Amino acid sequence: MTFTHLDESGKATMVDVSEKQVSRRSATARSIVSLPAEVLEQFANGDIQTKKGSVFQTAIIAGIMAAKKTGELIPLCHPLGLDNCHIDVHLNEHQEVVIDCTATITAKTGVEMEALVGASIAALTVYDMCKALSHDIVIRETKLMEKTGGKRDFRRT
């Protein structure tokens, strides 16, 4: 196994996708945000309302915008026009914010990075909008949950 973003001499390179087949590709990434009690106390009707507005709705918009700009943020990512980007934000049974970002495209390259960037920026937006209440907010993890299309599928169990 070799790194795909290194050429024969070990220098950074963009992956050449010109010979790849176009296929429908999808990826879902998840970020988990732990909120302290003083922030959770503000949770009502499926969201947290602040002076800046709805936390979860703003995080969704930020995540979608970020996913669309992944090629501008990650140096060796291809610039892609996503077919769709969907973000779900909810509290789980542990009172953590769960952010799932699913990106889809019909293209020669996958959208894992777009999903990861979307989930990450949505998590950072939750932090930004709630930090006035507490700095004890922790973005615990961001990980790829599944991907389809391309050489091989992946699903985290």
Q: What is the pTM of this model?
A: 0.93
Q: Do 27 and 146 meet the contact criterion of CB atoms below 8 Å apart?
A: yes
Q: How far apart are CA 89 and CA 101, in angstroms?
A: 9
| Ordered structural domains, the chain, with CATH | 23-148 (3.30.70.640)
User: How many CB atoms are closer than 10 A to CB 49?
Assistant: 15
Active site residue 47: no
For the chain, give the percent of residues with pLDDT over 70. Answer: 99
List 16, 88, 128, 136, catalytic entry:
128
Burial degree of 132 (CB within 10 A; 0-12, 13-18, 19+):
exposed
Mean pLDDT confidence for 153-157: 93
Picking from 121, 132, 140, the residue whose alpha carbon sits closest to that of residue 60 is 121
Q: What is the pLDDT of residue 1?
A: 66
In terms of average pLDDT, the best of 1-10, 11-20, 136-145 is: 136-145
Q: Which residue has the higher pLDDT, 3 or 95?
A: 95
Q: Convert the pLDDT of each residue in 42-88 to its tens digit.
A: 998 889 988 889 999 999 999 999 999 999 999 999 999 999 999 99
DSSP 8-state code for residue 17: -
Q: What is the pLDDT of residue 132?
A: 92
Q: What is the pLDDT of residue 94?
A: 93
